[in-house]
Chains A and B, each alone.
Chain A
Amino acid sequence: MTASSPSTVASDVCMSLQDVTISYGSFEAVKNVYMDLPKGKVTAFIGPSGCGKSTVLRALNRMNDLIPGCSLKGRVIFDQHDLYDKRVDPVEVRRRIGMVFQKPNPFPKSIYENIAFGARINGYKGDMDELVERSLRKAAVWDECKDKLKESGFSLSGGQQQRLCIARAIATEPEVILMDEPCSALDPISTLKIEETMHELKRSYTIMIVTHNMQQAVRVADMTAFFNAEAVEGGTGKVGYLVEFNETENIFNSPNQQSTLDYVSGRFG
């Protein structure tokens, strides 16, 4: 949790948030976040609803740009660039930082095209069949899909759709994959499969995941960030802030903050 000087972050740091404050209109959703997200690791964001963890996640690939009135102060350093610099093209950011959403959202196209779409618009020139197979295999959904690549993505079950969305994100060869509660709409078996997929994926990608499921954080994450929200004087609502960011083991077994301990042991509210 050390703020380093701009643009010079340690080489094992993938993204560095420096005094990030995100507001919707005049309402500050999350305030003064400092965080160095390590490369090649899975980082989980946990915390109660409304603490701004999803907001922070979406800020990492400028998805918040699509929400009217959302603005960010501070710096998000990725690959020696501040993502919020005026010269940065958000489309290019999203090509290198992929995203998997809460609800499975396959495109209304065939399974094959769902994967090929992202690769094609990113200028992929190689063997598309091979890429589709490789991506689906990495997302552990190839066996269920291989005989119906021409069918609509909606013909799959919810869990399969979500893994299709993961395959879609992988196909563009991003460096980072953001997952916004990827299992919240899924049954426990599908959830387990997605978690296995994530264990495979972290060999090649940096993953950040928002989850409400603390067991999930324990199972998949190397690092865990605990966010909380508190009412501020004169404010219109609760403002989120980062309480503690450490290795998952420490967060769950010996947190430094009392509120973290309360949350992870279920003594809150």
Chain B
Amino acid sequence: MSLSTPPPINHFTERLTLHYDPGLKRNRFNQVANAIAAFFAALAVVPLFLVLIYVLIQGGRLISLQLLTDLPPAPGLEGGGIGNAIIGTIVVTLIASLIAIPVGVGGGVYLSEYAQNGWFSKFVRFGNDVLAGVPSIISGVFVYSLIVATRVFFDQSFSAMAGGIALSVLMLPTVIKTTYEGLLLVPQEMRMGAYGVGASRFVTITQITLPAAFTPIATGVVLGIARAAGETAPLIFTALFSPFWPEGLFHPIATMSVLIFNFAIMPYEAQNELAWAASFVLVIMILGANLLARWISHASRS
């Protein structure tokens, strides 16, 4: 074969220059498609930044120590703060976590480690997916009729406990799903290794499998908490609201989301400002939780 012989020319083997030609049809088309996709991607994050900037401007300027530690003022008066609502949100979220984390992690462990993929575990997983899609207000109404209306807790109706339970219903699917999926990612060899040195199933799960899946589980839990902390609808029926400091777990309690709901529509300037300030604090808290979740998953990967 001699090198000087050119290949036979037909329309397939016609040789173009190797340099990029922006005028070529496929290249022009590519650039247009690229621009359209980039535009929609930008459009998708615009609401996030608008909300953040708006809340930052409206609420951020109001932040002071007094605002974080004082009670809200009576209607018509000036000043005051959202101290009780901050504590309330923390208390209610804590109750929700204390219920949802053990139940959710336990459920996830069952689905991944114990269940034989029979009808029961399929049913639980399907039910869990459905629960994740249940509107939050439904969970509020459910807890209202189950706990608030029946006054099961010491004859109290609205209470922090009821609010926490309503939020735990919302957290549960996230925690179960992330636990289950986190455990599925743990390689089977790891379990085999533990069984191979004579570990029982319980020891294998608690000392090998769960720690190995800590990152996805912790991430899921934090995201679940962040979701629950921002919910309003289920709390309106359950925790209600209180202009005072929390009196106990079985009394109505103020939360930031309900405070925003109540105060934003009041015809008083002071209350409206507090609603903005609470929005700011809530957004920062949830943003912080999301960053924490990212940090957890990064920290253990490196």
| B17 interface hit (Cβ, 8 Å) | no
Among candidates B187, B195, B207, B212, residue contacting A117 with C-beta atoms closer than 8 Å: B207
| A256 interface hit (Cβ, 8 Å) | no
A37→B133 CA distance, assembly (Å): 58
Q: Are the CB atoms of B211 and A101 closer together than 8 Å? A: no
* A18 shortest CB reach to chain B, Å: 24
Report B-chain residues with C-beta under 8 Å of the C-beta of A171.
Answer: 197
Closest residue on chain A to residue B212 by CB atoms: A108
Among candidates A66, A92, A121, residue contacting B192 with C-beta atoms closer than 8 Å: A66
Q: Mark A102-141, 1 if CB is under 8 A from B, else 0.
A: 0101111100000001100110000000000000000000
A118→B187 CA distance, assembly (Å): 19
A92→B117 CA distance, assembly (Å): 27
| A168 interface hit (Cβ, 8 Å) | yes
Among candidates B190, B198, B207, B212, residue contacting A94 with C-beta atoms closer than 8 Å: B198
* B52 shortest CB reach to chain A, Å: 37
Q: Mark B201-241, 1 if CB is under 8 A from A, else 0.
A: 00100011001100000000000000000000000000000
* B32 shortest CB reach to chain A, Å: 47
Among candidates A66, A92, A94, A108, residue contacting B211 with C-beta atoms closer than 8 Å: A108
Q: Are the CB atoms of B203 and A105 closer together than 8 Å? A: no
| A165 interface hit (Cβ, 8 Å) | yes
Report B-chain residues with C-beta under 8 Å of the C-beta of A122.
Answer: 197-198
- Contacts A108-B212, A117-B207, A121-B203 hold; do A172 and B190 have CB atoms under 8 A apart? no
| B5 interface hit (Cβ, 8 Å) | no
- Contacts A107-B193, A108-B190 hold; do A95 and B198 have CB atoms under 8 A apart? yes
Report A-chain residues with C-beta under 8 Å of the C-beta of B203.
Answer: 121
| A25 interface hit (Cβ, 8 Å) | no
| B189 interface hit (Cβ, 8 Å) | yes
Report A-chain residues with C-beta under 8 Å of the C-beta of B13.
Answer: none
Q: Are the CB atoms of A169 and B197 closer together than 8 Å? A: yes
Among candidates A92, A109, A172, residue contacting B197 with C-beta atoms closer than 8 Å: A172
Among candidates B116, B197, B207, residue contacting A168 with C-beta atoms closer than 8 Å: B197
Report B-chain residues with C-beta under 8 Å of the C-beta of A108.
Answer: 190, 208, 211-212
Report B-chain residues with C-beta under 8 Å of the C-beta of A106.
Answer: 193
| A99 interface hit (Cβ, 8 Å) | yes
| A211 interface hit (Cβ, 8 Å) | no
A101→B197 CA distance, assembly (Å): 11
| B68 interface hit (Cβ, 8 Å) | no
| A255 interface hit (Cβ, 8 Å) | no
| A68 interface hit (Cβ, 8 Å) | yes
A40→B80 CA distance, assembly (Å): 82
Q: Are the CB atoms of B192 and A101 closer together than 8 Å? A: yes
Report B-chain residues with C-beta under 8 Å of the C-beta of A103.
Answer: 189
- Contacts A105-B187, A108-B211, A108-B212 hold; do A165 and B193 have CB atoms under 8 A apart? yes
Q: Are the CB atoms of A63 and B195 closer together than 8 Å? A: yes
| A98 interface hit (Cβ, 8 Å) | yes
Q: Are the CB atoms of A118 and B190 closer together than 8 Å? A: no
Q: Are the CB atoms of A101 and B196 closer together than 8 Å? A: yes
Q: How many residues of chain A are within 8 Å of chain B by beta carbon?
A: 28
Among candidates A61, A96, A105, residue contacting B193 with C-beta atoms closer than 8 Å: A105
Closest residue on chain B to residue A61 by CB atoms: B196
Q: Are the CB atoms of B189 and A66 closer together than 8 Å? A: no
Q: Are the CB atoms of A91 and B189 closer together than 8 Å? A: no
Report B-chain residues with C-beta under 8 Å of the C-beta of A94.
Answer: 195-198
Q: Are the CB atoms of B200 and A98 closer together than 8 Å? A: no
Report A-chain residues with C-beta under 8 Å of the C-beta of B194.
Answer: 107, 117
Q: Are the CB atoms of B195 and A66 closer together than 8 Å? A: yes
| B71 interface hit (Cβ, 8 Å) | no
* A105 shortest CB reach to chain B, Å: 4
Closest residue on chain B to residue A108 by CB atoms: B212
* B238 shortest CB reach to chain A, Å: 41
* A180 shortest CB reach to chain B, Å: 10
* A256 shortest CB reach to chain B, Å: 34
A100→B197 CA distance, assembly (Å): 9
A122→B117 CA distance, assembly (Å): 31
Report B-chain residues with C-beta under 8 Å of the C-beta of A117.
Answer: 194, 197, 199, 207-208
Q: Are the CB atoms of A98 and B191 closer together than 8 Å? A: no
Q: Are the CB atoms of A118 and B198 closer together than 8 Å? A: yes
- Contacts A66-B192, A101-B189, A105-B192 hold; do A121 and B197 have CB atoms under 8 A apart? yes
Q: What are 17 A-B pairs at a CB distance below 8 A?
A: A66-B191, A66-B195, A68-B117, A91-B198, A91-B199, A91-B200, A94-B196, A98-B196, A101-B189, A103-B189, A107-B190, A107-B194, A107-B212, A108-B211, A117-B194, A117-B197, A169-B197
CB within 8 Å of A: which residues of B? 116-117, 187, 189-200, 203, 207-208, 211-212
Query: Top 8 closest A-B pairs, CB basis?
Result: A95-B198, A118-B197, A99-B196, A105-B189, A105-B193, A94-B198, A91-B200, A108-B212
Q: In the complex, given contacts A66-B191, A109-B211, A121-B198, what are 12 additional A-B residue pairs having Cβ atoms less than 8 angstroms apart?
A: A63-B196, A66-B192, A91-B199, A92-B198, A94-B197, A95-B197, A99-B192, A105-B190, A108-B190, A118-B198, A121-B197, A121-B203
